[in-house]
């Protein structure tokens, strides 16, 4: 039996091109600090760099002039990820199933002896909780 890890990601505007990721990080951080929801703003990428330089010159960081989003935009994406083992990690590397609870565990996390991986599939192994 595996568990699922639930994560929520907020949709925010992504920069065009590859050069302005830091600029957008600053703009979104400033929005949050000023109590604004960055998922409800659209920044004018053409003027952002100029505005940031102006603020640096003045020694003050102000919120970028983002306009409110007028189109209906989904503010969050929900992602469910299957996790395993007591470390709650992903399915990777050598793993073994507990014969009793049927949870899967990473070999490294539980220090499972190599004999369980060398013998037939009928070899039973119990996790720390079921042992």
Q: Please check whether residues 107 and 68 belong to one and the same domain.
A: no
Pick the residue with more confidence: 75 or 125? 125
Are the C-beta atoms of residues 2 and 65 closer than 8 Å to each other?
Answer: no
Q: Please check whether residues 93 and 71 belong to one and the same domain.
A: no
Residue 84 sits at φ, ψ, to 5 deg, of: -135, 170
Residue 104 sits at φ, ψ, to 5 deg, of: -95, 140
The C-alpha atoms of residue 92 and residue 57 are separated, in whole angstroms, by 50
Q: Please check whether residues 28 and 55 belong to one and the same domain.
A: yes
What pLDDT, on the 0 to 100 scale, is given for residue 1?
Answer: 47
Overall number of domains in the chain: 2
Are the C-beta atoms of residues 22 and 99 closer than 8 Å to each other?
Answer: no
Q: Please check whether residues 16 and 72 belong to one and the same domain.
A: yes
Q: Please check whether residues 72 and 130 belong to one and the same domain.
A: no
pLDDT tens-place string over residues 32-79: 888 888 888 888 888 888 888 888 899 988 877 765 554 445 556 677
pLDDT tens-place string over residues 94-106: 999 999 999 999 9
Mean pLDDT of the chain: 81
Note down the domain range covering 31.
Answer: 11-77
DSSP class of 88: T
Q: Please check whether residues 15 and 68 belong to one and the same domain.
A: yes
* pTM of the predicted protein model: 0.47
Cβ atoms within 10 Å, residue 88: 11
Does 2 reside within a domain?
no
């Amino acid at each position: 039996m595996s568990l699922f890890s639930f994560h929520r990601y907020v949709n925010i505007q992504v920069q065009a091109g590859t050069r302005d990721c830091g600029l957008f990080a600053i703009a979104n951080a400033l929005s949050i600090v000023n109590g604004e929801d960055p998922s409800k703003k659209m920044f004018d990428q053409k003027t952002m760099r100029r505005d940031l330089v102006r603020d640096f010159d003045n020694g003050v960081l102000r919120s970028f002039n983002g306009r409110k989003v007028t189109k209906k935009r989904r503010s969050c994406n929900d992602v469910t990820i299957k996790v395993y083992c007591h470390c709650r990690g992903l399915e990777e590397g050598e793993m073994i199933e507990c014969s009793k609870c049927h949870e899967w565990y990473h070999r490294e996390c539980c220090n499972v002896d190599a004999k369980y991986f060398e013998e037939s599939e009928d070899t039973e192994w119990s996790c720390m909780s079921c042992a």
